A and B are shown apart, each in its own frame.
Chain A
Amino acid sequence: MTTTMPPVDQPRRTRRGSVIGNTGIYIAVGIAALLFLLPFYLIVRNSLMQDPEITGENWKWFPTHIQWSNVTEPFHDVTVDFGRSMINSAVVGVLMTVGTLLVCSLAGYGLARIPYRHANKVFYLVLATLMVPTAVTFVPSFVLVSSLGWVDTYRGLIIPGLFSGFTCFLFRQYFLGFPKELEEAARVDGLGYWGAYWRIVVPNSLNFFAAMATITFISGWNAFLWPLVIGQDPSAWTVQVALSSYMTNQTVNYHLIFMATAISILPLVFVFLFLQRWLVQGIAQTGIKG
């Protein structure tokens, strides 16, 4: 991946100073990077070891014999259908991302750009939802969703999560900064709000959409409490629920737990490596940067 941001010209320095300074920076960044990678190292180490080696008296940095057979073990587990849970998480993550982006971007645009007398009041109502802790409205939500018959369904996992006040808020902030001239030109051309939105605004905001998509997908993939309660049947479990079930099992199986963790993280690592550049560009354009 090429660098997406041209480095800002640094203040001029003497040559020697810059060499020393640069070395210093690389040492600092290198140490920080090692610390940040340490937990990943632990996942890989533990997932490829045998249990007695993990729990032994003396610390070993690397497995004496790499246990490649551990890789497939989560998929052969009889108690947890790990493969199914990965598929569920992927479906939930993708549909949730599409749905959230659609619903919240429209609302964000409406709140930011369409002149309506009570728009601000509506906006404050949306803002207010950000302050309410989810832990307790959780139970009424669950009862509500289950009375719709959505327990153990993708609908139940996805739809209640689409209406994120936070995402809507971010979209509004972004659209506030969207160049007005573009839309006005479009509307002079005879496009209504709707047409201008889809023809002009969205195509010119793809970076931001990509950024929001990344964030939404991550939170969808990593969500735990809601999927735990909604996914009652193991066939509707997401990968986080499956993972937590390994952790609370009565007999701890270290290499299995860590292998499952590694596999559960892998898809997001790929999503990241591919979408990261858009994420940075997208955020550079948001309201967040101010």
Chain B
Amino acid sequence: MSTTTTRGIARPAPAKGSQARPRRGLRGNPTFNFWLFTGPFLIGLVIFVFVPIGWSIWLSFFDARFTVTPSNFIGFDNYKTVLTDPNFTGSLVTFTVFAAFIVPTTWALSLSLALLVHRLRFMRAFFRSVFFLPTACSYVAASLIWKMSLFNGVRFGLANTVIGWFGADQVAWLANPSPPWYWLVIVTLRLWLQAGFYMILFLAALQNIPSELYEAASIDGAKPGWQTFRYITLPQLRATSTAVILLLLVAAYQAFDEFFNLMGKATWGQPPLVILYKTAIGVNQDYGQGSAGAVILTLLICVVTLFQGKIMGFGRGEESK
């Protein structure tokens, strides 16, 4: 998604340095300045991100229950336990199903909203605000609304009230896994929270499509509507789409809050982070096993991201150097 490829602005010159520039002492020294600029960030990153990561990897080889300074080295036992735990392997399936559903749905919804809002001639700011507003809600707040008022299983839930008008019985939206209504609850919640943000990304991109392209197409006889969308709008949005899909995947992979708040003591609909959280931080306090799961998960996500990058061309800018 490098800007440089589409805009044709020179990429940052790497290593070769810039001898031609005037420089006075340290002020112009690239190496010194590089560390000056990135130093504070990197120091913080090392302390607050890399140290905990290293610590987790170390913990994953120990019998670390109720302690983060264990002494009982057990090799790969934690990894074996995690990989044979049906809850953990099941969570990977859950994540795959969830991602396969939420990513295309959010993509399509936010793109549709953007296309619609983009074509409005008046009240555009109003509608844009309406769709963007849910981004202001936290997962805590949204889970609360969904669980207590929208999709609760009793007569005063809005969903049950509405289906009651058509004579249907009260539905236990979350407690009963068959039929899996809980996906409806979780997906609508996430769509509501996220779609507006990605809509803004698409709106920004739509705004950048040169209008000459549409004029030219119309002169060439392209019909407005599907044809223009298919052959002009969509290709022009390719970079944004790629970025949005990547962001959605990362967000899906980090999914935690709504599952944690809504699903309770279920064995289904548990994404990996919820499982790991329950293993490590809940009452089980098995930091070794939790860390082992985290390491496995990290490796998986790295592989998937690299793979996705390869097929979708993300990061081309870097590779072509």
**A residues touching B (Cβ–Cβ < 8 Å)?**
1-5, 7-13, 22, 25-26, 28-29, 32-33, 36-40, 42-43, 46, 54-57, 59, 103-104, 106-107, 109-117, 119-120, 122-123, 125-126, 128-141, 143-145, 159-160, 162-163, 165, 168, 173-174, 176-177, 179-180, 187-188, 190, 192-195, 197, 218, 221-222, 224-225, 240, 243-244, 247, 252, 254, 257-258, 261, 264-265, 268-269, 271-273, 276, 279-281, 283-284, 286-290
Q: A131-B302, A177-B3 are in contact. Are A290 and B242 (CB under 8 A)?
A: yes
Q: A107-B42, A134-B254, A289-B204 are in contact. Are A39 and B37 (CB under 8 A)?
A: no
Q: How far is the CB of A14 from chain B (nearest CB, A)?
A: 11
Q: How far is the CB of A112 from chain B (nearest CB, A)?
A: 6
> Across the interface, which residues of A come within 8 angstroms of B146, CB to CB?
39
Q: How far is the CB of B34 from chain A (nearest CB, A)?
A: 4
> Across the interface, which residues of B come within 8 angstroms of A3, CB to CB?
124-125
Q: A9-B214, A36-B133, A136-B294 are in contact. Are A106 and B38 (CB under 8 A)?
A: yes
Segment 105-124 of B: residues with Cβ below 8 Å from A: 113, 116-121, 124
Interchain CB contact (< 8 A) of B37 among A26, A106, A133: A106
Q: How far is the CB of A280 from chain B (nearest CB, A)?
A: 6
Which residue of chain B is the closest to A261 with respect to CB atoms? B141
* B59, B116, B133, B280 pick with most chain A CB within 10 angstroms: B133
Q: A131-B301, A192-B24, A290-B238 are in contact. Are A284 and B31 (CB under 8 A)?
A: no
**B residues touching A (Cβ–Cβ < 8 Å)?**
1-4, 6-7, 9-18, 21-24, 27-28, 30-31, 33-38, 40-42, 44-45, 47-53, 55-56, 59, 68, 113, 116-121, 124-125, 127-142, 144-146, 148-150, 155-156, 158, 161, 192, 196, 200-201, 203-209, 211, 214-215, 217-218, 222, 224, 228, 238-240, 242-243, 250, 253-254, 256-257, 272-273, 276-277, 280-281, 287, 290-291, 293-294, 297-298, 301-302, 305, 317-318, 321
Which residue of chain B is the closest to A162 with respect to CB atoms? B44
A26–B298 Cα distance when bound, in Å, is 45
Interchain CB contact (< 8 A) of B1 among A107, A137, A272, A288: A288
A115–B150 Cα distance when bound, in Å, is 54
Interface contact B34-A110, CB-CB below 8 Å: yes
Interface contact A257-B68, CB-CB below 8 Å: no
Interface contact A265-B141, CB-CB below 8 Å: yes
> Across the interface, which residues of A come within 8 angstroms of B254, CB to CB?
133-134
> Apart from A29-B127, A107-B41, A111-B38, what are 14 other A-B pairs with CB-CB below 8 Å?
A10-B224, A11-B214, A11-B222, A36-B192, A38-B150, A59-B156, A115-B12, A115-B30, A129-B53, A165-B49, A173-B2, A180-B9, A180-B10, A192-B33
> Across the interface, which residues of B come within 8 angstroms of A25, CB to CB?
116, 119-120
> Across the interface, which residues of B come within 8 angstroms of A12, CB to CB?
218, 224
Interface contact A132-B298, CB-CB below 8 Å: yes
Q: A188-B22, A290-B205 are in contact. Are A133 and B12 (CB under 8 A)?
A: no
CB-defined A-B contacts under 8 Å, sample of 6: A38-B158, A111-B38, A133-B272, A133-B273, A135-B280, A193-B27
> Across the interface, which residues of B come within 8 angstroms of A163, CB to CB?
41, 44-45, 48-49
Q: How far is the CB of A182 from chain B (nearest CB, A)?
A: 12
Q: How far is the CB of A90 from chain B (nearest CB, A)?
A: 14
A115–B191 Cα distance when bound, in Å, is 41
A125–B206 Cα distance when bound, in Å, is 33
Q: How far is the CB of B204 from chain A (nearest CB, A)?
A: 4
A125–B144 Cα distance when bound, in Å, is 37
Which residue of chain B is the closest to A289 with respect to CB atoms? B205
